[in-house]
Structures are given as structure tokens and as C-alpha cells.
């Protein structure tokens, strides 16, 4: 793959703005799997203990024969698999392109092979010009041979296999586990050998080999690479899991393989990454039939013409039946490979890419305009102290207030835990819970409409947090010490035209000492829809700070993407409540863009809220035009917790439930959205403003975190 793969994704996004384990199994064979075999945990051994070296020596000797049995002369196999190109936008993953391939594989002793792609189909969901290397679309035979290369050598080149001749001088081995595999006529034992290089500065593999005791064959290879192995500076990591199945009581043959390649820009730390995930599975082997033709020397990968590939009709799974979801077993196995590798060597020896980078938290931290700042120009840098630790610094100068704003952070990952420490100096924040627009959208709104869709204030201080994967989801707990200060209107008129700008609303100033928590969890699938939930909580103590309150929200989300189907829909219900003495900056605010379009912006508020937003869409001219039907309903209420703050801030509770509806178009892969919405209720007593028509130009919310 070209080194500009990630670059193309980032540029595609910005242009739109402007832009886990089984060894294997088969119908006639049994395969090693920690989850479905009887396993006796082997005693912990030292590195290069005699037993470990003996097992490694057997594996090296066995590789002199094809698949550890010299009687195997030839085979053919049917293989199918998936290749997904994903874009990761600040932790959220989106499918950019989905591919499915079918191969016919022919092998003849000693090392001749032909793999022919006989079927292929794909769907492009976001702009990309990605072209895969052929070895991303083909089966790894005999665990690579003595030298490992990936990406036709552009990604990894000439890395010595841990069971190749000479490997004992390059690698060190440790016996980690043993697995018993019951087959028809015997019990096979597989030993897990952990492998790491003697010199971590050289190009090498780190991970595990699962070696059959009787034959010395490698039943499974689960590895990643040292940083020196990566030839492309944009590479962050490669994780690989090759599984074999035991066929006819004699041969360990390839059964299934997973690969994950993660990239980012080598020179710029920006919250956009690209991920390639592949899974290939052997559907059937033919070990008996005579070869139809004699193969030439070496291994080759070929493809039928495009029109023949499109006519292939023997698919065993749908296009979106591969490794997409984070709960997918193959993805969990690949994550385990990286986690295990980090315990075998220092994290700094695994991280690919540059150590020092230019850094931008998002596009708006480079250039933006706000009513309370004027124009701001900023930039920063990030230093990677290893695969698990990094430090970042960002600063910007706001011309309207003639002040420097700054942010510093330290991130550290250990196993499944992520810790983060943040410090802020004069950081700009927005009142409310619901986001009305992206950062770029706020700037454009201010320039052309005189509205930046925010109620700003400033804060200084810090926050420390830890996060961990739990129950298929993620929990984060944090503690903050912040000084919050009100903002002033420093821009008097819109930059284009002469429209006066909306005044900046007052907040409650003071010191905030608070604990907060967030829990995100997938709920599963129902009615073809992926459901998830998010629970947040915040509590501040008035004994130490200026504010004493608590606030919590529950959000239920359902989304059915148009994966292989022109129809898609989404639904999001948020319920929130607060208690204590709520400051104005913690009110729930609704009205207008982001909540209830067709009403005045943030005209209602309170300490209790319920807001539903839904959308039904259909591709009309894919991927250029998607028709959207949109609806929203909201309600706020006040108790004693929020009455005083709402009065100071200048908002009322909604007079019952307020609704809005409309139609929209999603243009250019649904990245640009043009919506026409109307508030459906008219004026009521004590609330004289009713619903109106509103035209909304916006970018797809999946982009907001990077904009």
C-alpha cells in the first residue's frame, strides 16, 4: 500500500469540510483453541530454558518439510475473506471501503504455489483511492517461509522468521502454556512459545508460536513487529494471527488468518487514523486429486479480469460479515497479540512512526473565530515516549482578547488501562450538554451568519482520568479542579456583512471541584439495528469549591447503517437530571440547531431534560445523494436545583413537549448535509415564540470530533 494511504483519508475528510482464541478448525480437522480444549498451565520458565529451546529447535527442523510432513506433495483449496478499510476519527470508527475476495489456491512441493482471485466485490462508503497490496488479499502459506515480508515489502521486509534457520541466534524463547487437542486417533499437544528478539533494536517479530509436540509444526503464529521492522514511517503497528488446522491426522494446513494494519501521519498528530482489517478462511481442501497443471517455481498471486470477478456467485457470507465490530473474536485476538507483546519488550521497542510530531487536537485548534475570542491561531506538538506514553502541548493566540490559550496533556496506557492528565490555561468552553455544531461549523456560522452557536466561558485548571474496557464497553472516571470565568463579547459585528452579534450570556463564576464518570456499552443488535447506551455522571462538592451539585444523563442509541442496503436509520434518546445548586453552565439547554431546529437557539433550559432525535434515510444516487427524513422532540423542566440558574442565564422551561420535523439531503457520501426543518408548535402563554422554518447547512456529525 502506498505510504500516503492515511494521508488520503485525512485529505478526503478535510476536503469534505472545505471537506482476538482458536488456532483454526475445518470440517475434517480439529484445531487448537484455548477456549475449547483442556489446557494445563505450564510452569513459568526462564527465557531460553532448555525445554523452550528444544521446542524451538523442533519447529525449525520441521519447517524443512512442507507443513511438517514430507509426504504432502500437493493440495488445492477454496478461500474466501473480507478486507475492510476503516477510518478512526478520535476513537470512533467508520467503514471507508468494504471488500470481499474469493481465491483458488494451488500448492505443489516443495514451494510452488499459485493463488488466483476468482471473485471480488466491494462498496466504497467514504472518499478514498486506496489500492491494496496483493498479499493483503491472499493466503499466507507455510507461515511465510524463512523471511517475512508484508505489503510486497513496502511495510515489512526480510524479517527473520522465529522458526527459520539461524533464529536461535536472533530470538530468545520462553515456554508459556500447553494445550491438548483431541483428534480421532490421538491427542496432540501444542506448546505456546513466547518469542522476542535478543536485540530489540533490530527488525524482528514479537509474540507467540504454538508448536505441535509430535511433529514440530507451527499450529498458530500470533505476532507483531518491533519498530525497526516497519519500512513505512506512517505505520503505527501490524498485528498478525495465522491459524492452522490438523488435517487427516498428518498435516497442519492454513485454516484462517487475521491481519490488522494501523497507520497515521508520521509528521502530524491529528485524531485521524486508518485501519486495514482482513480475515481469510479456508473453506475446503482437496488433498487427493491429481494436479490439473504443473506449477512454476515460487509463489504467485494472480487475478481474473474484472468482469469475471463481478460474476462470481458462490459467496459464503455477506459483504459485511467480516471483522468490523470491536467485539468480533478475530479483533479481540489481534488485540491480545499486541497486549502480550507489550509485556515481552519495552513499549518503546514496538511503536512505529516518528517520536516527535506537529500536533493539532482538531482542525479548529489551528484557526477559528469566536464571539468571545475573535480570531485564534494555534499550533502544538506531541512527543511519543513509547508505545504507551505520550505528552502533548498546544497553544494559541486569541486576537480579540489578546491572550494566549494553552493546553498540555500526558497519556499513558498499561494493558487495558488508559490514564490521562490534562492542564488548561484560559480554555474556551461552551455552556450546555448538547453539541450544536462542529468547530469548523461554528467558525463558518460566525463568519457568514453572525452566530457561532455557543454560549462561551473560560476555565483554567486540570483533570486526571483513567479509563478501562468493561463488559464490551468502556468506563472512564475523572477528577477535576477548575476555575471557571465568564466571557465577554469581543466581536461586535459579523465578519461578512454588518449584522450585530448575539450577546454573551453570564455564567456562575467560581472554583469547580468535581468527580465525573462515563460508561459506554453496546447493547447488542435487534431488528437489524446496533444498540448502545451511554451513562454519564458529575458531582461537585460545595465544601471545597464554589458549587455543590450532581448531574446525570442516560442516552440510548440505535443505528442501522445502510450496509448493503440503501435504507438507514438512527434514533437517540437522552434523559438528564440534576440536583443540588446547579450553576448556569450546567443547565440542560434546548432549542434550535443540535436539539430542536425550527425554534430560537437555546431558548429553553432546566435541570431536567428529555430529548429524542431520529432520522430515516435512503440512498437516491449512491454515494452522491441521500434523502433524509428528520424528527426531534424535547422537554425541559425545573426544580429548585435549576430555577435560580435559569433565571440568571435567561431561559425558561419548555411549555410541554416541543417537536420539530423536516427533510434533508446528504450529499457527497453523506458528508455535507442540507436540511429544512420546522418547529411544529406555535406560541403559548408565557412563551410567545413559536416554531419557524429553518435552513441548516452542516457536516456529518461523525466528523465533528476532528473539526
Characterize the bridge pairing of strands 356-359 and 268-269: parallel
Question: Average pLDDT in the 145-163 region?
Answer: 91
Query: What would the pLDDT profile of 392-435 be if each residue is shown by its tens digit?
Result: 999 999 999 999 999 999 999 876 788 999 999 999 999 989 99
Residue by residue, DSSP assigns 22-35 as: ----BTTBB---TT
pLDDT number for residue 273: 87
**pLDDT at residue 438 is higher than 90:** yes
Query: How far apart are the C-alpha atoms of 59 and 57, rounded to whole Å?
Result: 5
pLDDT number for residue 682: 83
Query: What would the pLDDT profile of 344-369 be if each residue is shown by its tens digit?
Result: 877 667 777 778 889 988 999 999 99
Beta strands (DSSP E) in 171-320 are 171-182, 187-197, 205-212, 218-225, 235-247, 251-263, 268-269, 272-286, 299-303
Confidence of residue 464 (pLDDT cuts 50, 70, 90): very high
pLDDT > 90 in the chain, percent = 56
CB-CB contact of 199 with 169 (8 Å)? no
**pLDDT at residue 259 is higher than 60:** yes
Query: What would the pLDDT profile of 306-318 be if each residue is shown by its tens digit?
Result: 999 999 999 999 9
pLDDT > 70 in the chain, percent = 89
Least confident of 140-149, 337-346, 415-424, 570-579: 337-346
Confidence of residue 249 (pLDDT cuts 50, 70, 90): confident
pLDDT number for residue 437: 93
**pLDDT at residue 660 is higher than 70:** yes
Query: How far apart are the C-alpha atoms of 368 and 380, rounded to whole Å?
Result: 15
Q: Kindly tell me the sign of the dihedral angle through the C-alpha atoms of 307, 309, 314, 315.
A: negative
Question: Average pLDDT in the 168-179 region?
Answer: 91
Residue by residue, DSSP assigns 2-26 as: -TTHHHHHHHHHHHHH--------B
Query: How far apart are the C-alpha atoms of 116 and 305, rounded to whole Å?
Result: 11
**pLDDT at residue 61 is higher than 50:** yes
Characterize the bridge pairing of strands 567-581 and 548-560: antiparallel
| 635 Cβ neighbours under 8 A, 6+ residues apart | 609, 610, 611, 654, 656, 657, 658
pLDDT number for residue 211: 92
| Chain mean pLDDT for the chain | 85
Query: How far apart are the C-alpha atoms of 480 and 391, rounded to whole Å?
Result: 19
Confidence of residue 334 (pLDDT cuts 50, 70, 90): confident
Under DSSP, the state recorded for 50 is: H
Q: Is 661 helix (H, G, I), strand (E, B) or coil?
A: strand
Under DSSP, the state recorded for 53 is: H
Q: What's the pTM value of the predicted model, to 2 decimals? A: 0.83
pLDDT number for residue 270: 83
Cell of 241: 494471527
List own/partner pairs for 553-562 with CB under 8 A and 24 or more apart.
Answer: 553/433, 553/577, 556/523, 556/531, 556/532, 557/531, 557/532, 557/533, 558/529, 558/530, 558/531, 559/529, 559/530, 560/527, 560/528, 560/529, 560/530, 561/95, 561/530, 562/617, 562/618, 562/619
Query: How far apart are the C-alpha atoms of 11 and 28, rounded to whole Å?
Result: 48
pLDDT number for residue 328: 58
Amino acid at each position: 500500500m502506498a505510504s500516503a494511504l492515511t494521508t488520503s483519508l485525512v485529505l478526503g475528510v478535510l476536503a469534505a469540510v472545505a471537506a482476538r482464541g482458536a488456532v483454526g478448525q475445518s470440517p475434517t480437522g480439529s484445531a487448537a483453541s484455548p477456549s475449547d480444549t483442556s489446557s494445563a498451565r505450564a510452569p513459568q520458565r526462564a527465557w531460553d530454558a532448555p525445554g523452550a529451546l528444544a521446542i524451538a529447535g523442533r519447529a525449525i527442523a520441521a519447517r524443512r518439510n512442507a507443513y511438517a510432513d514430507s509426504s504432502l506433495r500437493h493440495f488445492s483449496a477454496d478461500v474466501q475473506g473480507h478486507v475492510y478499510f476503516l477510518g478512526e476519527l478520535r476513537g470512533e470508527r467508520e467503514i471507508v471501503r468494504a471488500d470481499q475476495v474469493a481465491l483458488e489456491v494451488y500448492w505443489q512441493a516443495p514451494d510452488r504455489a499459485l493463488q488466483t482471485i476468482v471473485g471480488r466485490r466491494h462498496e466504497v462508503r467514504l472518499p478514498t483511492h486506496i489500492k491494496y497490496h496483493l498479499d493483503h488479499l491472499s493466503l499466507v502459506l507455510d507461515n511465510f517461509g524463512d523471511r517475512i515480508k508484508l505489503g510486497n515489502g513496502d511495510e515489512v521486509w526480510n524479517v527473520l522468521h522465529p522458526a527459520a534457520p539461524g533464529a536461535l541466534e536472533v530470538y530468545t524463547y520462553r515456554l508459556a502454556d500447553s494445550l491438548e487437542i483431541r483428534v480421532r486417533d490421538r491427542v496432540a499437544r501444542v506448546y505456546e512459545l513466547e518469542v522476542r528478539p535478543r536485540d530489540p533494536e533490530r527488525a524482528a517479530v514479537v509474540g507467540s508460536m504454538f508448536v505441535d509436540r509430535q511433529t514440530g509444526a507451527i499450529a498458530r503464529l500470533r505476532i507483531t513487529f518491533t519498530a525497526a521492522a516497519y519500512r513505512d514511517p506512517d505505520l503505527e503497528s501490524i498485528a498478525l494471527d495465522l491459524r492452522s488446522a490438523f488435517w487427516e491426522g498428518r498435516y497442519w494446513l492454513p485454516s484462517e488468518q487475521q491481519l490488522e494494519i494501523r497507520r497515521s501521519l508520521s509528521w502530524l498528530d491529528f485524531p485521524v487514523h486508518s485501519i486495514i482489517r482482513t480475515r481469510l478462511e479456508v473453506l475446503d481442501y482437496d488433498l487427493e486429486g491429481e494436479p490439473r497443471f504443473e506449477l512454476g517455481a515460487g509463489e504467485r498471486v494472480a487475478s481474473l479480469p474484472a468482469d469475471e470477478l463481478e460474476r462470481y456467485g458462490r459467496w459464503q457470507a455477506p459483504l459485511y460479515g467480516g471483522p468490523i465490530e470491536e467485539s468480533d473474536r478475530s479483533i479481540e485476538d489481534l488485540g491480545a497479540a499486541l497486549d502480550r507483546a507489550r509485556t515481552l519488550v519495552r513499549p518503546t521497542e514496538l511503536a512505529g512512526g516518528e517520536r516527535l510530531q506537529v500536533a493539532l487536537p482538531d482542525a479548529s485548534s489551528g484557526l477559528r473565530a469566536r464571539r468571545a475570542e475573535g480570531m485564534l491561531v494555534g499550533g502544538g506538538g506531541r512527543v511519543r515516549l513509547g508505545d504507551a506514553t505520550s505528552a502533548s502541548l498546544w497553544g494559541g493566540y486569541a486576537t480579540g482578547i489578546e491572550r494566549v490559550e494553552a493546553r498540555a496533556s500526558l497519556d499513558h496506557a498499561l494493558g487495558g488501562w488508559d490514564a490521562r492528565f490534562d492542564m488548561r490555561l484560559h480554555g474556551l468552553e461552551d455552556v450546555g450538554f448538547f453539541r450544536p455544531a462542529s468547530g469548523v461549523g461554528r467558525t463558518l456560522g460566525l463568519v457568514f451568519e453572525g452566530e457561532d452557536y455557543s454560549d462561551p466561558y473560560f476555565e483554567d485548571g486540570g483533570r486526571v482520568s483513567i479509563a478501562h474496557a468493561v463488559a464490551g464497553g468502556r468506563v472512564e472516571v475523572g477528577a477535576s479542579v477548575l476555575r471557571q470565568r465568564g466571557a465577554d463579547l469581543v466581536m461586535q459585528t459579523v465578519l461578512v456583512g454588518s449584522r450585530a452579534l448575539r450577546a454573551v450570556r453570564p455564567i456562575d463564576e467560581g472554583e469547580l471541584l468535581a468527580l465525573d464518570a462515563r460508561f459506554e456499552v453496546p447493547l447488542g443488535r435487534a431488528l437489524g439495528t446496533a444498540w448502545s447506551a451511554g451513562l454519564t455522571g458529575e458531582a461537585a462538592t460545595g465544601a471545597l469549591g464554589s458549587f455543590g451539585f450532581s448531574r446525570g444523563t442516560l442516552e440510548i442509541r440505535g443505528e442501522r447503517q445502510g450496509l448493503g442496503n440503501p435504507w438507514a436509520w438512527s434514533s437517540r434518546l437522552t434523559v438528564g437530571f440534576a440536583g443540588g445548586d446547579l450553576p448556569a453552565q450546567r443547565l440542560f439547554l434546548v432549542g434550535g440547531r443540535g436539539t430542536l431546529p425550527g425554534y430560537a437557539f437555546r431558548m429553553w433550559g432546566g435541570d431536567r431534560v428529555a430529548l429524542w432525535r431520529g432520522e430515516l434515510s435512503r440512498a437516491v444516487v449512491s454515494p452522491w445523494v441521500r434523502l433524509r427524513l428528520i424528527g426531534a422532540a424535547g422537554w425541559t423542566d425545573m426544580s429548585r436545583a435549576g430555577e435560580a440558574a435559569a433565571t440568571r442565564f435567561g431561559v425558561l422551561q419548555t411549555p410541554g413537549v416541543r417537536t420539530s420535523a423536516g427533510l434533508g439531503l446528504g450529499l457527497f457520501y453523506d458528508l455535507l448535509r442540507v436540511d429544512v426543518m420546522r418547529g411544529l408548535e406555535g406560541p403559548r402563554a408565557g412563551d410567545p415564540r413559536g416554531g419557524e422554518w429553518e435552513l441548516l447547512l452542516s457536516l456529518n456529525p461523525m466528523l465533528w470530533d476532528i473539526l
